[in-house]
Structure 1
Amino acid sequence: RKLTKEIERIHVKSKARYGAPKIHKMLVNNGCDLSLKRVQRLMKQAGIRSITKKKYRPYPSKEKVIQLTNLLKRDFSTQTINEKWVADITYIPTVKDGWCYLASVLDLHSKKIVGYSFSRSMTSELVIEALQNAYTNQKPRKGLLLHTDLGSQYTSSEFTQHVHKYQMEQSFSQKGCPYDNACIESFHAILKKEEVYHTQYLD
């Protein structure tokens, strides 16, 4: 009963976003010695469920994409901050402005969003602004690795010029392979499931 009460407290505090894995992790961090299966069982008995929703998946593009160099090669390990950044764009619906777009830049060492930009249009300017914000905030040294997918915004000459200006090395995922950029994909998925899909934004 005591464990179930604590599970309910964590669940309510997360605004019902957290499921068994996250609740289990918080309980373990608070000194509880129990398995994930036990948390799942107690939640089922008490009728406690996460309200998170499935990720929206846009239709894949059939355009032919030129493969570019993948320097990251799924090596997400780092020694310090400002060593490897990953970037991506995600869709967010609004009532007044329809689909809007969020471009984020994440530091693989701190798992912190170091730069972002939000716009009604998915253009090169959107991702350039996110990169500029990250660069201004962090002031990284020469040679930082910046990894993105093969989206036209990231392969544009305007974006590449800014990458070179900041003396960064550009790396690209293989076409149709989200695992190459798993960390930022995961961040956007969690942002959607725990916040965006439960909120109706005016603009």
Structure 2
Amino acid sequence: MARLHAQSRATYGRPRLLKALAAQGMKKSAERVRRRLIRHRLRPVYRRAWQTITHSAHRLPLAPNLLARRFDGWGPNQAWVADITYLATDEDWLYLAAILDLGSRRIVGWSMSERIDAKLMGTALRSAYWQRRPPRGLSVHGDRGVPYVSGAHRELAQGYGMPMSMSRRANAWDNAPMESFF
């Protein structure tokens, strides 16, 4: 039983182990398998639930879609795209905000946090700005999530002379280079 559990990379619990044992011709009762799992401290590893991280149903002001899916033909520091993804850890979730330069196709700024908020995206934007020192007029494109449309993020982008651009609602294709990065 321990061998089957290990072969499944610890994903088999009692129901699957019962089927695997039966396939090998070993008939065991569910109760017996349960007791052995407990005795040997074998527990299945469950996949974490998928988590929604962008909430675009808000009343905050939006920016126009300045990129309009034109992802090619940009020089370095002319247009940046941004997104946030989540990473499962042994303890909880971590959120990674990253900014990609469409001209160089490199990550120019990033930030990681246990919370998804405007500070996460703001830290990534500050990181990108201080590493690259782009000229005024560089466009920063993101989705419609609260971290992008918050007043703090908007003020930061305006202070750097960066017009904001946002995807249409529920349209990942409008931010395809960044969506495909993760």
Give 1:90's aligned residue: 85
SS at match of 1:101: strand
Give 2:107's aligned residue: 113
Give 2:160's aligned residue: 166
SS at match of 1:129: helix
Q: Cα RMSD between the aligned structures?
A: 1.8
SS at match of 2:69: coil
Task: Determine which structure has more spread, i.e. the larger CA radius of gyration.
Answer: 2
Q: Does 1:180 align with 2:180?
A: no
Normalised by the length of structure 2, the TM-score is 0.68
Identity %: 38
In structure 1, runs of 5+ residues without a counterpart are 1-55, 189-203
Q: Which has the higher helix share?
A: 1
Give 2:126's aligned residue: 132
In structure 2, runs of 5+ residues without a counterpart are 1-48
Match of 1:75 among 70, 75, 89: 70
Superposed CA deviations along residues 163-202 of structure 1, whole A, max 9, x for unmatched, are 00100110000010000000000001xxxxxxxxxxxxxx
Task: Write out the 4+ residue segments of structure 1 that deviate beyond 4 Å after TM superposition.
Answer: 59-62, 64-67
Aligned length: 132
Give 2:16's aligned residue: none
Structure 1 residue 79: deviation in Å? 3.8
1: CA distance between counterparts of 2:144 and 2:71?
Answer: 18
2: CA distance between counterparts of 1:94 and 1:61?
Answer: 22
- Contact 1:67 / 1:175 at 8 angstroms: preserved in 2? no
SS at match of 1:113: strand
Give 1:8's aligned residue: none
- Contact 1:85 / 1:147 at 8 angstroms: preserved in 2? yes
Normalised by the length of structure 1, the TM-score is 0.61
Structure 1 residue 78: deviation in Å? 2.8
The 1:158–1:93 alpha-carbon spacing in structure 2 relative to 1, beyond 3 Å, is same
Match of 1:58 among 20, 42, 51: 51
